Amino acid sequence: MKKETEALLEVRQQLSEHYRRIIELLGEDTAREGLKKTPMRVAKAMQFLLKGYDEDPEAVLASAMFEEEDYKQMVIVKDIDFFSLCEHHMLPFFGKVHVAYIPNHYITGLSKIPRVVDIFAHRLQIQERMTLQIKECIQKTLNPLGVMVVIEAQHMCMQMRGVEKQNSLTTTSDFTGSFQQARTREEFMNLIKK
């Protein structure tokens, strides 16, 4: 654990030095009172925002897997808040994730679904890939009859720069198994709108 902490601090120090140089290249004085600690603050923030690389989402789901042979209806966890960083501009995108799965002998602790979302969100991402990764993780780990993931997000790279459209919302979805039937997808979509 001590080596891990030392490694974390070493990376933080290196990040801080890079951010100090970036701020200087942008024309600011890093010796100015308001900016003296900014490089280290940004380094700490980036380590937090990108901590998902050090976590295993499949292990999180498996840590609370329970055998349940009788329940064959949808399990839905909706309105899971998330924040992530777009890999193209390293600007935030954020919104809600809705997840459903139909058990096939196994269920997982309900808090594990939002944890899986957080792990994938705490990486440099694109919304489409994050949707796919959440779906694949649940399918691979629990082997349910079907999984469906819907993400609704706002992207600061579209709102703060570029086209500057503040009210745009991007929706992505992906599904497996039973959710390939339109009726099952419609039921899920109706349930998350309530």
Catalytic residue flag (residue 137):
no
Instruction: Exactly one of 68, 105, 157, 187 is catalytic; name it.
Output: 157
Catalytic residue flag (residue 87):
yes
Instruction: Exactly one of 98, 122, 127, 137 is catalytic; name it.
Output: 127
Catalytic residue flag (residue 86):
yes
Instruction: Exactly one of 10, 88, 128, 181 is catalytic; name it.
Output: 88
* Structure tokens, 187: 């039921």
Catalytic residue flag (residue 155):
yes
Q: What share of the chain is helix, strand, coil (3-state, %, to 5)?
A: 50, 25, 25
Return contacts of 68-75, CB within 8 angstroms, 24+ apart. 68/103, 68/105, 68/106, 68/107, 69/105, 71/103, 71/107, 72/102, 72/103, 72/104, 72/145, 73/102, 74/100, 74/101, 74/102, 74/187, 74/188, 74/191, 75/100, 75/101, 75/102, 75/103, 75/107, 75/110
Report the C-alpha gap between 105 and 109 in whole angstroms: 14
Catalytic residue flag (residue 69):
no
Catalytic residue flag (residue 18):
no
State the pairing for strand pair 170-175/105-108. Answer: unpaired
Instruction: Exactly one of 125, 133, 137, 155 is catalytic; name it.
Output: 155
Catalytic residue flag (residue 157):
yes
Instruction: Exactly one of 24, 58, 68, 89 is catalytic; name it.
Output: 89
Instruction: Exactly one of 17, 87, 128, 186 is catalytic; name it.
Output: 87
Give the residue numbers marked as catalytic: 86-89, 127, 155, 157
